[in-house]
Structure 1
Amino acid sequence: MRTFAATALTPPPYEALVHDAVAEIAAHSAQWADAFGLAPTPAARARLAKADAAALAARACPDAPLPAVRLLADLVTWLFAFDDRCDEDELGTDPGRLAPALAPLLEVVDRFGTAAQSGYQPAGPTAAALHDLCRRVRALGRPGGLLRFAAAFREYLFALLWEATNRQLHRVPRFAEYVQMRRHTGAVLPSFALTDLAVGGLALAADRVDPRVVRLDLLAADLVCWCNDVFSYGKERLRDGHNLATVIAYELSWPEKAALTEAAARYNAGLAAYGALEAEVLADADARLSRMLESRRRWLRATYDWSLLALRYHL
């Protein structure tokens, strides 16, 4: 599938960069995951190592301060570890079991990284690691960024219930529904929020709600997810219907190869549309909005390059 994706997808036309300290970032995130027990078995540690979260973060933030890139890498590590837990424990196929597992995570997010109150302890290693992430986001001293991160993370948690319900019912979502929910199940928006904090791309509220900027932000999230869907299709088609190609095949009654080709074509068309709209917005963007948009470009390129190299989604 990597060969198909590499030939069918248009590489994002942005410079491919990697943070100079990528090895140090990787070592830190591995130690961080071990300290919280996110991957408690040798098999779990091996799966998490295949994700290479640090490489993705180092590509998305190639020139950000080291502590900020470590924070992003730890977030991505947490997301991969929780995804593995949902697969291994089958939480991701049973909303009745997943819901109580999400409650302590939602409690952590609702506390916004505040110091532990009397009697409060995060419920288990996953919640404790998430509390550490929220605490570090709070320590950056940017309340607006913290609020955006928390709001996006809540949307991610609730979207996981939608996904688990579909799996329990053996339901393939319709295309429009899938596109809407995929950007949340992929946890792209909380990752964008941390990236904006890392690079000083906290755009003004007026810019954030500009329809063109809203469209760019959502399209960037979609493109990150669709790129992943095409690269990971060979593995995910054996699991369930949460993949862009699978949804297209089901909705249009197309064969697998045609649907996969169409998924790649939609990614390519989205990438072209993104570039055209971004050029229009950049024409009168201030420095903060320009940095935000630069971070989105880097995420697009980072996802593509990381997907070419990472072992997580290759059989």
Structure 2
Amino acid sequence: MIHAVLWSLRSECPIPPRLSPHADGVQRWLDGQLPGLGLPLDRPALDRLSRAAFARYAGRLYPRATEPDLRSLAALFTWFFLVDDACDGPGRLTPGQIRALRDGALSVLREGPRARHPGLTGPLRRLLVRAWREPRRRMPVRWRLRFAAAVGHHLHGAWREALEKAAGRPPDVAGYVELRRATSAAYVAYPLIEFVSGRPLPDAVYHHPALLRLADAGNDLLSWYNDIASLERDRATAGGHNLVLALAAERGVPVTEAVDLAAERWRATMSQFVALRAAVPSFGPGLDEAVAAHLDGVADAVRGTVDWTLESARYAVR
């Protein structure tokens, strides 16, 4: 049933699929880099990372990235997924450890590679330092602070979710949607559009209400699609932190019916997304090209997540 719903939503998605021509080559490069980081992973675990195809995910979200930039992005994506596994997988970090990891990551992002913090050490620190090198070198301070703020928001969400799971508090739908916008890392992906395009937006434009509404809708779309795909795993481990599970509990319906409710919610939000994108105003000839690149990037994040979810070995939906 889940497989059929996912493919149905993909067929209805009005955003065209895109993929970088460098994606598979960068995946091979990434596969060669990971063993040298000293990650506590055996060969089967490294193989699973390779089959998850994080470089291909980055290539779907940033199809116009140069090959060197896509390497930086694929490394960043890998870091975020490894952190996600550490926060939410077997032997997960405690809330206190997640908060320390957040503080350690922010010290690197804000202060540079010489910054040291006990919350981020070893292979995870080395991977973040390497992945962050080129964005830090090339992008202005205001952009770097914006990206760091997005990472802080994401990891704060992971901490909040860990607290709720530890307390046995499943969320209601409204609370879940708000928290999921943080844990999804979509708001981290959006600033990277500017890294790829080389055209950072002024803060007043980036935080314009029209762009923020579109960002929220895009975040919901990619998050909820992922929730449907990861439902079976989340039923055992997520403590109710999944849109389908939150809907089932709040509406008092079987999970199978809640899957359909989540899909209908996705369809309605997709219609809203299309309308919001069409309604973004002009910001003048000096900015409209950069804004258009940003809007395309948010759309690519939605469609790229859909396509990658169906092809990645991370989810058993192929």
TM surpasses 0.5: yes
CA distance in 1, matches of 2:117, 2:157: 26
Counterpart position of 1:107: 107
Residue 272 of structure 2: SS of its match in structure 1?
Answer: helix
Counterpart position of 1:77: 78
**Match of 1:209, as an amino acid?**
H
CA distance in 2, matches of 1:293, 1:102: 28
Pick the aligned partner of 1:188 from 181, 186, 189: 186
1:82-161 aligned at under 5 Å gives the runs 82-92=83-93, 94-111=94-111, 114-116=112-114, 123-161=121-159
Point out the more displaced range, 198-207 or 186-195: 198-207
1:1-315 aligned at under 5 Å gives the runs 1-8=2-9, 11-38=12-39, 40-92=41-93, 94-111=94-111, 114-116=112-114, 123-240=121-238, 241-281=240-280, 286-314=288-316
Q: 1:120 to 1:257 in 2, by over 3 A?
A: closer
Cα distance, 1:38 vs. partner?
A: 3.5
CA RMSD of aligned residues (A): 2.3
Cα distance, 1:191 vs. partner?
A: 1.6
Asked if 2 retains the 8 angstrom alpha-carbon contact of 1:18 and 1:62, the reply is yes
CA distance in 2, matches of 1:120, 1:248: 40
Unaligned runs of 5+ in 2: none
CA distance in 1, matches of 2:155, 2:84: 11
The aligned length equals 311
Cα distance, 1:9 vs. partner?
A: 5.5
Cα distance, 1:282 vs. partner?
A: 5.5
Point out the more displaced range, 258-267 or 165-174: 165-174
Q: Structure 1 stretches (4+) deviating beyond 3 angstroms? A: 8-11, 86-89, 96-103, 119-122, 282-285
**Match of 1:30, as an amino acid?**
D
Deviations 1:119-169 (A, max 9, x none): 889621112222222332211233232111111011111111111112212
Q: 1:85 to 1:176 in 2, by over 3 A?
A: same
Identity %: 29
Q: 1:309 to 1:140 in 2, by over 3 A?
A: same
TM-score normalised to structure 2 length: 0.89
TM-score normalised to structure 1 length: 0.90
